[in-house]
């Protein structure tokens, strides 16, 4: 059951069996029910999560009750409310499972311990963080330069099963459009 996690680490750094076992002993395994919360807005994010199976959604709820999706995290992604996780201040986001999921759970405390025990993990998370930054930047440029229709098509391309398991409301909240506009747009695309 550790295959995906091991592959993920070894994509960026060399780890021997002893080192990988230290990591495994610091990490918990958790099955997350559909709609279960891993982080609640207002609480401190104690953990970061590696998605082994399933799909998670990180989102905020505005004062008017409207949800805005920061990101969807699919298999092989690390996800948390990073501001809260690293500052240990209250989270602005909710992290919730969209479908029945399996995650590895790594606490802030254990991660700091691991950085001391296996310093090359700094390299690993530096590269993970760097790739996440590049992806975020691409999203910003897409928001500035691409039409909602183009962004929707890119999204479906990146998350092929999106239409099956993510609600239209949630997809719209990621694209920054209303569900009504998304519905109208899809009709035009399919016509």
- Interface residues toward a second copy, by CB under 8 A: 60, 62, 68-71, 82-83, 86, 92, 115, 119-120, 122-123, 125-126, 129-130, 132-134, 136-141, 143-145, 173, 176
Between 33 and 144, CB nearer to a second copy: 144
Burial state string for 47-82 with b = 16 or more CB within 10 A and e = fewer than 16:
bbbbbbebbbbbbbeeeeeeeebbbbbbeebbbbbb
For 7-33, the DSSP string reads: HHHHTTS---HHHHHHHHHH-EEEEE-
Residue 152's CB is within 10 A of a number of other CB atoms, namely 21
Between 32 and 70, CB nearer to a second copy: 70
Between 31 and 143, CB nearer to a second copy: 143
CB of 71 to a second copy, least distance (A): 8
Between 13 and 24, CB nearer to a second copy: 13
CB of 91 to a second copy, least distance (A): 12
């Amino acid at each position: 059951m550790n295959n995906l996690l091991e592959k993920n680490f070894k994509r960026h750094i060399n780890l021997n069996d002893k080192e990988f076992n230290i990591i495994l002993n610091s990490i918990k395994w958790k099955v997350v029910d559909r709609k279960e919360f891993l982080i609640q807005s207002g609480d401190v994010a104690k953990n970061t999560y590696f998605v082994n199976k399933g799909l998670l959604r990180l989102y905020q709820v505005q004062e008017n009750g409207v949800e805005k999706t920061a990101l969807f995290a699919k298999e092989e992604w690390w996800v948390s409310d990073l501001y809260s996780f690293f500052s240990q201040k209250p989270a602005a986001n909710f992290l919730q499972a969209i479908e029945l999921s399996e995650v590895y759970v790594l606490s802030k405390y254990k991660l700091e311990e691991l950085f001391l025990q296996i310093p090359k993990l700094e390299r690993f998370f530096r590269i993970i963080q760097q790739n996440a930054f590049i992806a975020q930047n691409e999203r910003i440029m897409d928001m500035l330069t691409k039409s909602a229709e183009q962004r929707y098509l890119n999204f479906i391309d990146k998350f092929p099963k999106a239409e099956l398991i993510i609600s239209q409301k949630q997809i719209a909240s990621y694209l920054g459009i209303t569900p009504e506009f998304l519905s109208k747009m899809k009709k035009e695309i399919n016509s």
